[in-house]
Amino acid sequence: MCCIVEYVGAGYAGFQRQPGRITVQSVLEETIEKVTQERVRVLASGRTDAGAHACGQVVAFDTRSALRTEVLGRALNATLPMDVSIISTQEALPDFHPRFDATSRTYRYVIHNRRVRSPFWHGRSAHIGHHVDDNAMNQGAGHLVGTHDFGAFAPAALGGSHVRTIFDVRAHRHGDLVMTDVRANGFMRQMVRSIMGTLVEVGTGRALPGVVGSVLSSRDRSQAGNSLPACGLYLIEVHYAPDTMFGPPAVIDPDVPFVPVHGTEERE
């Protein structure tokens, strides 16, 4: 079974199950067990940070339930807490893995940019009072596109390869919101939040756009800006090859409430 899941991450210690902590994975697994009387392990397309959100998280699990997929989805939603929702269900190929079969993912970072903070966007965005220039951010973001060693935007203690391919980075303003979409073949822990810390320095005029390229080349985390908080981060799209799952190609509609989609047709 494959599901597309939305959640507000404010009340969760991230997606992945952790002993003694409430996580999105643990809530999903416990809810599935209540509905199907089966203990399952939920696989996900990615592990979101504590406090981060998703409107396009792809999960999969094995079940022998006789319920039709749409009926099972409704039953799960009737049992899940209000900050987690299954927006679609479908059968998946037996060997489908939502993480390893993904070809790319898109994260969106939302900044609420006005002098006075908003209670409506609290916990759903990062508030920055100084003006943020999205055009300057885009000039800096151009240095990130391509296959690079992104060690400057990874935690210092993170081992393994830091090489990733970023296909597109784009910032755009809509009223008081500045939204930045980053699409890549993979992400390291806190990578988007670290990138955003540097792009915001450019957007607020504290650094020139070329600094982004210098930080990238340094491969030194201390050269990058401070990571922005997780509350502004949304997993909005996961892409798969058309023949990976049953049904139509699994391109997730990035339907973040109150956050308009911009330019997705150019990324297909």
Which domains does the chain carry?
2-100 (3.30.70.580), 104-234 (3.30.70.660)
How sure is the predictor about 160, in pLDDT bands with cuts at 50, 70 and 90?
confident
pLDDT tens digits for 224-251?
999 999 999 999 999 998 776 544 333 4
How sure is the predictor about 157, in pLDDT bands with cuts at 50, 70 and 90?
low
Half-sphere exposure of 82 (CA within 13 A, CB side): 0
Query: For 144, phi and psi rounded to 5 degrees?
Result: -90, -20
pTM summary value: 0.89
| Dist CA 23 CA 17 (whole Å) | 6
Chain mean pLDDT for the chain: 89
pLDDT tens digits for 177-229?
999 999 999 999 999 999 999 999 999 999 999 999 999 999 999 999 999 99
Q: What pLDDT score does 11 carry? A: 93
> Which stretch of 3-17, 172-186, 209-223, 253-267 has the lowest confidence by average pLDDT?
253-267
Residue 142 has pLDDT above 70, yes or no: yes
43 closest CA partner among 21, 64, 17, 69: 17
Q: What pLDDT score does 245 carry? A: 58
| Dist CA 198 CA 76 (whole Å) | 40
Q: Which residues are catalytic?
A: 49
| Dist CA 46 CA 169 (whole Å) | 19
